[in-house]
Amino acid sequence: MEDGSWGDYDLITIKIRNGKSFPAGRHQPPCYISPAMSIEAPAAQKKVNLRRPDILEAVQAQVLSHYRSELVERVRANGCVLSADSLTVKLAKEFGFCYGVERAIDLAYAARKYFPSDKPIYLLGEIIHNPEVNDQIRNMGIQIISPKPTEDEMTRLHAGDVVMIPAFGTEVGTRKRLEEKGCVLVDTTCGDVMSVWKRVRQYSKESVTSIIHGKAWHEETKATSSQARAYGSGHYLVVFNLAETDYVCRYIVLGGDKREFLDKFAGSYSQGFDPELHLRAVGVANQTTMLRGETEEVQRRFKAAMEKKYGAGEVAEHFRFFDTICGATQDRQDALQKLLREPMNLLIVIGGYNSSNTSHLAEMGEAKLPTYFIKNAAKMESDKLIRHYDQHDKKEIETRDWLPYGKITVGITAGASCPNNLIEDVIRRLFELRGISVQKLLAN
Protein backbone atom coordinates (compact mmCIF):
# COMPACT_ATOMS: atom_id res chain seq x y z
CA MET A 1 0.00 0.00 0.00
CA GLU A 2 2.95 2.26 -0.51
CA ASP A 3 1.09 3.96 -3.35
CA GLY A 4 -1.81 4.91 -1.12
CA SER A 5 -4.25 2.62 -2.87
CA TRP A 6 -6.06 0.22 -0.61
CA GLY A 7 -7.19 -2.65 -2.72
CA ASP A 8 -4.03 -4.69 -2.84
CA TYR A 9 -3.91 -6.43 0.50
CA ASP A 10 -5.26 -9.54 2.03
CA LEU A 11 -3.86 -9.40 5.54
CA ILE A 12 -2.52 -6.56 7.51
CA THR A 13 -0.99 -7.05 10.90
CA ILE A 14 -0.50 -4.23 13.36
CA LYS A 15 0.87 -4.35 16.84
CA ILE A 16 1.26 -0.92 18.31
CA ARG A 17 1.92 -0.44 21.98
CA ASN A 18 3.21 3.09 22.49
CA GLY A 19 6.36 1.55 23.82
CA LYS A 20 4.48 -0.06 26.73
CA SER A 21 4.52 -3.74 27.45
CA PHE A 22 1.61 -5.88 28.59
CA PRO A 23 1.54 -7.01 32.19
CA ALA A 24 3.33 -10.29 32.78
CA GLY A 25 1.24 -13.27 31.90
CA ARG A 26 -1.27 -11.25 29.92
CA HIS A 27 -1.53 -11.91 26.27
CA GLN A 28 -2.81 -9.44 23.77
CA PRO A 29 -3.22 -10.74 20.25
CA PRO A 30 -1.75 -8.85 17.35
CA CYS A 31 -4.42 -7.06 15.35
CA TYR A 32 -5.40 -8.64 12.10
CA ILE A 33 -7.00 -6.44 9.57
CA SER A 34 -8.31 -8.72 6.97
CA PRO A 35 -10.99 -8.96 4.40
CA ALA A 36 -13.69 -11.31 5.57
CA MET A 37 -12.05 -14.46 6.84
CA SER A 38 -14.51 -16.62 4.97
CA ILE A 39 -13.69 -14.96 1.67
CA GLU A 40 -10.80 -16.35 -0.29
CA ALA A 41 -8.37 -13.56 -1.03
CA PRO A 42 -7.40 -13.38 -4.71
CA ALA A 43 -3.90 -14.69 -5.27
CA ALA A 44 -2.83 -11.29 -6.58
CA GLN A 45 -3.45 -9.69 -3.21
CA LYS A 46 -0.42 -9.40 -1.04
CA LYS A 47 0.24 -9.18 2.63
CA VAL A 48 0.76 -5.72 3.95
CA ASN A 49 2.29 -5.00 7.30
CA LEU A 50 1.22 -1.86 9.05
CA ARG A 51 4.08 -1.96 11.49
CA ARG A 52 5.90 0.52 9.36
CA PRO A 53 7.90 2.97 11.50
CA ASP A 54 6.31 5.95 9.76
CA ILE A 55 2.78 4.85 10.70
CA LEU A 56 3.75 3.83 14.22
CA GLU A 57 5.48 7.10 14.94
CA ALA A 58 2.74 9.23 13.46
CA VAL A 59 0.06 7.36 15.37
CA GLN A 60 1.88 7.45 18.66
CA ALA A 61 2.43 11.17 18.45
CA GLN A 62 -1.24 11.75 17.68
CA VAL A 63 -2.51 9.49 20.45
CA LEU A 64 -0.21 11.07 23.01
CA SER A 65 -1.22 14.56 21.93
CA HIS A 66 -4.89 13.67 22.48
CA TYR A 67 -4.76 11.73 25.72
CA ARG A 68 -1.50 12.21 27.58
CA SER A 69 -1.12 14.35 30.70
CA GLU A 70 2.17 15.60 32.01
CA LEU A 71 0.52 16.63 35.26
CA VAL A 72 -0.83 13.13 35.90
CA GLU A 73 2.60 11.66 35.20
CA ARG A 74 4.13 14.04 37.70
CA VAL A 75 1.56 13.19 40.35
CA ARG A 76 2.17 9.49 39.73
CA ALA A 77 5.92 10.04 40.08
CA ASN A 78 5.22 11.81 43.35
CA GLY A 79 3.64 8.75 44.94
CA CYS A 80 0.19 9.65 43.49
CA VAL A 81 -0.18 12.59 45.89
CA LEU A 82 -0.51 16.31 45.18
CA SER A 83 -0.91 18.66 48.10
CA ALA A 84 -1.19 22.40 48.63
CA ASP A 85 -2.64 24.52 51.43
CA SER A 86 -5.82 22.87 52.62
CA LEU A 87 -6.21 20.40 49.75
CA THR A 88 -4.59 17.01 49.25
CA VAL A 89 -5.41 14.93 46.20
CA LYS A 90 -4.62 11.23 46.27
CA LEU A 91 -4.74 9.15 43.15
CA ALA A 92 -5.24 5.38 43.31
CA LYS A 93 -2.01 3.61 42.29
CA GLU A 94 -3.70 2.06 39.24
CA PHE A 95 -6.19 4.06 37.24
CA GLY A 96 -7.21 5.04 33.73
CA PHE A 97 -6.44 3.44 30.37
CA CYS A 98 -5.87 -0.33 30.43
CA TYR A 99 -3.77 -2.23 27.91
CA GLY A 100 -6.85 -3.39 25.97
CA VAL A 101 -8.17 0.14 25.60
CA GLU A 102 -4.76 1.52 24.61
CA ARG A 103 -4.49 -1.13 21.96
CA ALA A 104 -7.98 -0.46 20.57
CA ILE A 105 -7.29 3.27 20.36
CA ASP A 106 -3.90 2.74 18.75
CA LEU A 107 -5.50 0.52 16.14
CA ALA A 108 -8.27 2.99 15.40
CA TYR A 109 -5.73 5.75 14.83
CA ALA A 110 -3.52 3.43 12.78
CA ALA A 111 -6.42 2.36 10.60
CA ARG A 112 -7.35 5.97 9.94
CA LYS A 113 -3.75 6.71 9.08
CA TYR A 114 -3.42 3.71 6.82
CA PHE A 115 -6.57 3.88 4.74
CA PRO A 116 -6.96 6.83 2.38
CA SER A 117 -8.85 9.68 4.00
CA ASP A 118 -11.68 9.50 1.45
CA LYS A 119 -12.26 5.83 2.28
CA PRO A 120 -14.91 5.59 4.99
CA ILE A 121 -14.17 3.55 8.09
CA TYR A 122 -17.12 2.30 10.10
CA LEU A 123 -17.09 1.45 13.79
CA LEU A 124 -19.57 -0.90 15.47
CA GLY A 125 -20.89 1.26 18.32
CA GLU A 126 -18.27 2.85 20.55
CA ILE A 127 -14.57 1.98 20.43
CA ILE A 128 -14.56 2.11 24.25
CA HIS A 129 -17.03 3.54 26.77
CA ASN A 130 -15.82 7.09 27.00
CA PRO A 131 -17.70 9.92 25.28
CA GLU A 132 -14.64 12.17 24.83
CA VAL A 133 -12.62 9.39 23.17
CA ASN A 134 -15.53 8.49 20.91
CA ASP A 135 -15.85 12.15 19.89
CA GLN A 136 -12.17 12.16 18.91
CA ILE A 137 -12.68 9.00 16.87
CA ARG A 138 -15.68 10.60 15.15
CA ASN A 139 -13.68 13.76 14.48
CA MET A 140 -11.13 11.63 12.66
CA GLY A 141 -13.84 10.72 10.18
CA ILE A 142 -14.60 7.25 11.54
CA GLN A 143 -18.34 6.71 11.23
CA ILE A 144 -20.14 5.10 14.15
CA ILE A 145 -22.89 2.64 13.24
CA SER A 146 -24.98 0.42 15.53
CA PRO A 147 -23.09 -2.24 17.53
CA LYS A 148 -25.36 -4.71 15.75
CA PRO A 149 -25.93 -3.00 12.39
CA THR A 150 -29.54 -2.53 11.38
CA GLU A 151 -30.78 -3.96 8.07
CA ASP A 152 -30.52 -0.48 6.59
CA GLU A 153 -26.91 -0.11 7.74
CA MET A 154 -26.08 -3.57 6.43
CA THR A 155 -27.51 -2.65 3.03
CA ARG A 156 -25.25 0.40 2.91
CA LEU A 157 -22.12 -1.66 3.63
CA HIS A 158 -20.28 -3.10 0.65
CA ALA A 159 -17.47 -5.53 -0.03
CA GLY A 160 -14.18 -3.86 0.82
CA ASP A 161 -15.69 -1.38 3.29
CA VAL A 162 -13.61 -1.09 6.44
CA VAL A 163 -15.43 -2.00 9.67
CA MET A 164 -13.85 -1.76 13.11
CA ILE A 165 -14.82 -4.12 15.91
CA PRO A 166 -14.52 -2.39 19.33
CA ALA A 167 -12.49 -3.55 22.33
CA PHE A 168 -15.43 -5.47 23.81
CA GLY A 169 -15.90 -7.50 20.62
CA THR A 170 -19.01 -8.22 18.62
CA GLU A 171 -21.60 -10.99 18.37
CA VAL A 172 -20.79 -14.07 16.32
CA GLY A 173 -23.77 -13.39 14.00
CA THR A 174 -22.70 -9.79 13.32
CA ARG A 175 -19.17 -10.82 12.47
CA LYS A 176 -20.43 -13.55 10.18
CA ARG A 177 -22.68 -11.15 8.28
CA LEU A 178 -19.84 -8.67 7.82
CA GLU A 179 -17.60 -11.46 6.60
CA GLU A 180 -20.22 -12.62 4.14
CA LYS A 181 -20.42 -9.07 2.83
CA GLY A 182 -16.67 -9.08 2.24
CA CYS A 183 -16.02 -6.18 4.61
CA VAL A 184 -12.48 -5.51 5.78
CA LEU A 185 -12.50 -6.10 9.54
CA VAL A 186 -10.23 -4.20 11.89
CA ASP A 187 -10.67 -6.28 15.01
CA THR A 188 -9.67 -4.49 18.22
CA THR A 189 -11.27 -7.06 20.56
CA CYS A 190 -9.23 -7.26 23.76
CA GLY A 191 -7.32 -10.49 24.32
CA ASP A 192 -8.85 -10.84 27.77
CA VAL A 193 -12.35 -10.79 26.28
CA MET A 194 -11.27 -13.45 23.81
CA SER A 195 -10.07 -15.63 26.69
CA VAL A 196 -13.61 -15.62 28.07
CA TRP A 197 -14.96 -16.57 24.64
CA LYS A 198 -12.58 -19.51 24.52
CA ARG A 199 -13.88 -20.74 27.84
CA VAL A 200 -17.53 -20.28 26.89
CA ARG A 201 -16.98 -22.07 23.56
CA GLN A 202 -15.47 -24.96 25.50
CA TYR A 203 -18.58 -25.12 27.70
CA SER A 204 -20.66 -25.06 24.54
CA LYS A 205 -18.67 -27.96 23.06
CA GLU A 206 -19.35 -30.00 26.20
CA SER A 207 -23.07 -29.06 26.19
CA VAL A 208 -22.59 -27.23 29.47
CA THR A 209 -24.75 -24.12 29.93
CA SER A 210 -22.70 -20.95 30.38
CA ILE A 211 -23.80 -18.90 33.38
CA ILE A 212 -22.42 -15.47 32.57
CA HIS A 213 -22.10 -13.08 35.48
CA GLY A 214 -22.55 -9.79 33.70
CA LYS A 215 -24.88 -7.18 32.28
CA ALA A 216 -27.09 -8.67 29.59
CA TRP A 217 -27.34 -5.27 27.88
CA HIS A 218 -23.59 -4.69 27.70
CA GLU A 219 -21.86 -5.23 24.32
CA GLU A 220 -19.20 -7.48 25.83
CA THR A 221 -21.74 -9.77 27.48
CA LYS A 222 -23.81 -9.90 24.28
CA ALA A 223 -20.70 -10.90 22.35
CA THR A 224 -19.71 -13.48 24.97
CA SER A 225 -23.23 -14.93 25.13
CA SER A 226 -23.22 -15.41 21.38
CA GLN A 227 -20.12 -17.60 21.73
CA ALA A 228 -22.12 -20.00 23.91
CA ARG A 229 -24.09 -20.89 20.80
CA ALA A 230 -20.99 -21.32 18.66
CA TYR A 231 -21.38 -25.09 18.48
CA GLY A 232 -25.13 -25.10 18.33
CA SER A 233 -25.60 -27.34 21.35
CA GLY A 234 -24.75 -24.81 24.07
CA HIS A 235 -26.98 -22.46 26.01
CA TYR A 236 -26.40 -19.43 28.20
CA LEU A 237 -28.03 -17.56 31.03
CA VAL A 238 -26.84 -14.14 32.21
CA VAL A 239 -27.10 -13.36 35.93
CA PHE A 240 -26.54 -9.77 36.97
CA ASN A 241 -26.19 -10.00 40.74
CA LEU A 242 -26.39 -12.21 43.80
CA ALA A 243 -30.17 -11.92 44.08
CA GLU A 244 -30.54 -13.37 40.57
CA THR A 245 -27.89 -15.97 41.40
CA ASP A 246 -29.88 -17.08 44.45
CA TYR A 247 -33.07 -17.33 42.41
CA VAL A 248 -31.40 -19.62 39.87
CA CYS A 249 -29.68 -21.68 42.59
CA ARG A 250 -32.98 -22.19 44.38
CA TYR A 251 -34.48 -23.36 41.12
CA ILE A 252 -31.63 -25.83 40.64
CA VAL A 253 -32.09 -27.32 44.11
CA LEU A 254 -35.85 -27.12 44.58
CA GLY A 255 -37.32 -26.55 41.11
CA GLY A 256 -39.91 -23.85 40.61
CA ASP A 257 -42.28 -22.11 38.25
CA LYS A 258 -40.76 -22.36 34.77
CA ARG A 259 -42.95 -19.61 33.29
CA GLU A 260 -41.96 -17.23 36.08
CA PHE A 261 -38.28 -18.10 35.55
CA LEU A 262 -38.42 -17.40 31.84
CA ASP A 263 -40.29 -14.12 32.36
CA LYS A 264 -37.86 -12.98 35.03
CA PHE A 265 -34.82 -13.56 32.84
CA ALA A 266 -36.37 -12.52 29.52
CA GLY A 267 -33.61 -11.26 27.22
CA SER A 268 -30.90 -12.92 29.31
CA TYR A 269 -30.92 -16.49 27.97
CA SER A 270 -30.38 -18.30 24.70
CA GLN A 271 -33.15 -19.27 22.35
CA GLY A 272 -34.66 -22.58 23.41
CA PHE A 273 -33.22 -22.37 26.93
CA ASP A 274 -35.27 -24.51 29.30
CA PRO A 275 -34.43 -24.26 33.02
CA GLU A 276 -35.68 -27.81 33.51
CA LEU A 277 -33.15 -29.17 31.02
CA HIS A 278 -30.32 -26.71 30.81
CA LEU A 279 -29.38 -26.15 34.44
CA ARG A 280 -28.14 -29.69 35.02
CA ALA A 281 -24.55 -28.83 34.09
CA VAL A 282 -23.36 -25.23 34.25
CA GLY A 283 -20.08 -23.42 33.77
CA VAL A 284 -19.60 -19.95 35.23
CA ALA A 285 -17.81 -17.22 33.30
CA ASN A 286 -18.08 -13.48 33.67
CA GLN A 287 -17.94 -10.16 31.96
CA THR A 288 -14.30 -9.12 32.41
CA THR A 289 -15.17 -5.95 34.31
CA MET A 290 -17.39 -7.18 37.14
CA LEU A 291 -16.57 -6.86 40.84
CA ARG A 292 -14.24 -9.70 41.64
CA GLY A 293 -15.73 -10.44 45.07
CA GLU A 294 -19.22 -10.71 43.60
CA THR A 295 -18.10 -13.00 40.79
CA GLU A 296 -16.39 -15.30 43.30
CA GLU A 297 -19.58 -15.39 45.34
CA VAL A 298 -21.61 -16.27 42.22
CA GLN A 299 -19.26 -19.21 41.62
CA ARG A 300 -19.48 -20.36 45.24
CA ARG A 301 -23.26 -20.27 45.26
CA PHE A 302 -23.64 -22.24 42.03
CA LYS A 303 -21.17 -24.83 43.25
CA ALA A 304 -23.03 -25.15 46.56
CA ALA A 305 -26.35 -25.56 44.71
CA MET A 306 -24.90 -28.37 42.59
CA GLU A 307 -23.49 -30.07 45.69
CA LYS A 308 -26.90 -29.92 47.33
CA LYS A 309 -28.66 -31.24 44.29
CA TYR A 310 -26.26 -33.98 43.18
CA GLY A 311 -23.93 -34.56 46.14
CA ALA A 312 -20.35 -33.38 46.64
CA GLY A 313 -18.90 -36.42 44.85
CA GLU A 314 -20.77 -35.59 41.64
CA VAL A 315 -20.11 -31.88 41.51
CA ALA A 316 -17.41 -32.08 38.83
CA GLU A 317 -20.02 -33.44 36.42
CA HIS A 318 -22.34 -30.52 37.01
CA PHE A 319 -20.22 -27.47 37.72
CA ARG A 320 -17.26 -25.72 36.09
CA PHE A 321 -15.81 -22.30 36.56
CA PHE A 322 -13.04 -20.14 35.25
CA ASP A 323 -11.89 -16.81 36.58
CA THR A 324 -12.32 -14.36 33.73
CA ILE A 325 -12.04 -11.00 35.51
CA CYS A 326 -9.34 -9.19 33.54
CA GLY A 327 -6.05 -8.16 35.12
CA ALA A 328 -6.59 -4.46 34.48
CA THR A 329 -10.00 -4.47 36.19
CA GLN A 330 -8.54 -6.37 39.09
CA ASP A 331 -5.59 -3.99 39.46
CA ARG A 332 -7.88 -0.95 39.52
CA GLN A 333 -10.21 -2.51 42.09
CA ASP A 334 -7.28 -3.59 44.29
CA ALA A 335 -5.67 -0.13 44.10
CA LEU A 336 -8.94 1.55 45.03
CA GLN A 337 -9.49 -0.83 47.91
CA LYS A 338 -6.08 0.17 49.24
CA LEU A 339 -6.77 3.87 48.76
CA LEU A 340 -10.10 3.53 50.57
CA ARG A 341 -8.27 2.37 53.70
CA GLU A 342 -6.72 5.83 53.99
CA PRO A 343 -8.60 8.71 55.61
CA MET A 344 -10.33 10.77 52.91
CA ASN A 345 -13.26 13.15 52.81
CA LEU A 346 -14.62 12.14 49.45
CA LEU A 347 -13.87 10.18 46.29
CA ILE A 348 -14.17 11.22 42.68
CA VAL A 349 -14.52 8.48 40.07
CA ILE A 350 -13.98 9.59 36.49
CA GLY A 351 -15.29 7.73 33.46
CA GLY A 352 -18.09 7.18 30.96
CA TYR A 353 -21.45 6.53 32.59
CA ASN A 354 -21.92 3.36 30.51
CA SER A 355 -18.49 2.01 31.50
CA SER A 356 -18.91 -1.21 33.47
CA ASN A 357 -15.55 -1.23 35.22
CA THR A 358 -15.94 2.44 36.20
CA SER A 359 -19.38 1.83 37.68
CA HIS A 360 -17.90 -0.88 39.91
CA LEU A 361 -15.21 1.49 41.14
CA ALA A 362 -17.96 3.96 42.04
CA GLU A 363 -19.86 1.19 43.81
CA MET A 364 -16.79 0.39 45.92
CA GLY A 365 -16.42 4.05 46.85
CA GLU A 366 -20.09 4.52 47.71
CA ALA A 367 -19.85 1.79 50.31
CA LYS A 368 -17.24 3.81 52.21
CA LEU A 369 -17.57 7.57 51.74
CA PRO A 370 -19.26 10.30 49.67
CA THR A 371 -18.48 9.34 46.06
CA TYR A 372 -19.06 11.36 42.91
CA PHE A 373 -19.04 9.57 39.55
CA ILE A 374 -18.39 12.21 36.87
CA LYS A 375 -17.48 12.02 33.21
CA ASN A 376 -15.42 15.20 33.12
CA ALA A 377 -14.27 18.21 35.13
CA ALA A 378 -17.10 20.40 33.82
CA LYS A 379 -19.42 18.48 36.13
CA MET A 380 -17.77 20.22 39.11
CA GLU A 381 -19.63 23.42 38.46
CA SER A 382 -18.52 25.11 41.70
CA ASP A 383 -17.58 24.16 45.24
CA LYS A 384 -21.31 24.40 45.93
CA LEU A 385 -22.58 22.22 43.07
CA ILE A 386 -21.52 18.99 41.41
CA ARG A 387 -23.47 17.04 38.79
CA HIS A 388 -22.75 13.34 38.99
CA TYR A 389 -24.11 10.03 37.84
CA ASP A 390 -26.37 7.98 40.04
CA GLN A 391 -25.90 4.50 38.60
CA HIS A 392 -28.79 3.08 40.57
CA ASP A 393 -31.30 5.56 39.15
CA LYS A 394 -29.33 5.72 35.88
CA LYS A 395 -29.35 9.49 35.69
CA GLU A 396 -27.22 12.49 36.49
CA ILE A 397 -28.14 14.16 39.77
CA GLU A 398 -27.02 17.33 41.55
CA THR A 399 -25.40 17.52 44.96
CA ARG A 400 -24.91 20.84 46.71
CA ASP A 401 -22.17 21.80 49.17
CA TRP A 402 -20.21 18.74 48.13
CA LEU A 403 -16.71 20.13 48.75
CA PRO A 404 -16.18 20.49 52.51
CA TYR A 405 -14.46 23.53 54.02
CA GLY A 406 -11.15 23.28 55.86
CA LYS A 407 -8.35 20.82 55.36
CA ILE A 408 -9.52 17.98 53.14
CA THR A 409 -8.23 14.95 51.24
CA VAL A 410 -9.90 13.98 47.98
CA GLY A 411 -9.36 10.55 46.47
CA ILE A 412 -9.44 10.13 42.71
CA THR A 413 -9.66 7.10 40.49
CA ALA A 414 -10.68 6.57 36.88
CA GLY A 415 -12.02 3.68 34.85
CA ALA A 416 -10.05 1.71 32.27
CA SER A 417 -11.50 3.80 29.44
CA CYS A 418 -10.65 7.20 30.90
CA PRO A 419 -7.70 9.08 29.37
CA ASN A 420 -5.18 10.95 31.51
CA ASN A 421 -6.05 14.35 30.06
CA LEU A 422 -9.53 14.08 31.62
CA ILE A 423 -7.98 13.13 34.97
CA GLU A 424 -5.74 16.18 34.74
CA ASP A 425 -8.76 18.41 34.12
CA VAL A 426 -10.37 17.11 37.30
CA ILE A 427 -7.24 17.67 39.40
CA ARG A 428 -6.85 21.19 38.05
CA ARG A 429 -10.50 22.00 38.68
CA LEU A 430 -10.30 20.79 42.29
CA PHE A 431 -7.36 23.07 43.06
CA GLU A 432 -8.98 25.90 41.15
CA LEU A 433 -12.12 25.57 43.31
CA ARG A 434 -9.83 26.03 46.32
CA GLY A 435 -8.22 29.10 44.71
CA ILE A 436 -4.89 27.32 44.13
CA SER A 437 -3.11 27.47 40.79
CA VAL A 438 -1.73 24.06 39.84
CA GLN A 439 0.81 25.77 37.63
CA LYS A 440 2.21 27.58 40.60
CA LEU A 441 2.15 24.45 42.67
CA LEU A 442 4.11 22.48 40.08
CA ALA A 443 6.66 25.27 39.71
CA ASN A 444 7.73 24.70 43.33
Catalog residues that contact ligand SF4 under the rule CB under 6 A.
98-101, 167, 190, 192-193, 288-289, 326, 328-329, 357, 416
CB nearer to ligand SF4: pick between 87 and 98: 98
The residues annotated with a catalytic role in the active site are 220
The dihedral built from the CA positions of residue 405, 411, 415 and 421, taken in this order, carries a sign that is positive
Instruction: Write the Ramachandran bin of 9: left for phi over 0, alpha for psi from -120 to 50, otherwise beta.
Output: beta
Q: Measured from the CB of residue 331, what is the shortest distance to ligand SF4 in angstroms?
A: 9
Q: Tell me whether residue 28 or residue 69 sits nearer to ligand SF4 (CB atom).
A: 28
**Nearest-approach distance from CB 360 to ligand SF4, in angstroms:** 11
In whole angstroms, the minimum distance from the beta carbon of 333 to ligand SF4 comes to 11
Residue at shortest CB range from ligand SF4: 100
Q: Which helix (H) or strand (E) holds 336?
A: helix 327-340
Instruction: Please identify, using beta-carbon distances, which residue of 123 and 193 lies nearer to ligand SF4.
Output: 193
Shortest Å distance, C-beta 356 to ligand SF4? 8
Shortest reach from residue 183's CB to ligand SF4, in Å: 23
Apex 245 CA angle, 289 and 233, nearest 5? 80
- Bridge partners of residue 380, in order along the sequence: 386
Q: How far is the CB of 195 from ligand SF4 (least distance, A)?
A: 9
At CA 205, angle to CA 200 and CA 208, rounded to 5? 65
Which of residues 99 and 203 has its CB atom nearest to ligand SF4 in the complex? 99
Q: How far apart are CA 245 and CA 211, in angstroms?
A: 9
Nearest Cα to Cα of residue 405 among 86, 61, 58, 64:
86
User: Which C-beta is closer to ligand SF4: that of 134 or that of 209?
Assistant: 134
The Cα angle at residue 192 between residues 126 and 390, in degrees rounded to 5? 50
C-beta of 98 vs 228, nearer to ligand SF4: 98
- Strands 184-187 and 142-145 turn out to be unpaired
Q: Are 86 and 441 in contact (CB under 8 A)?
A: no
Residue 158 CB partners (closer than 8 Å, separation 6+): 181, 182, 183
Residue by residue, DSSP assigns 215-230 as -TTSHHHHHHHHHTTT
Q: Toward ligand SF4, which CB reaches closer, 167 or 184?
A: 167
Burial class of 45 by CB neighbour count within 10 A (0 to 12, 13 to 18, 19+): middle
CB atoms within 10 A of CB 218: 18
* Residue 15 backbone zone (phi > 0: left; psi -120 to 50: alpha; other: beta): beta
Task: Provide the minimum distance between the beta carbon of 245 and ligand SF4 in the complex, in angstroms, as a whole number.
Answer: 22
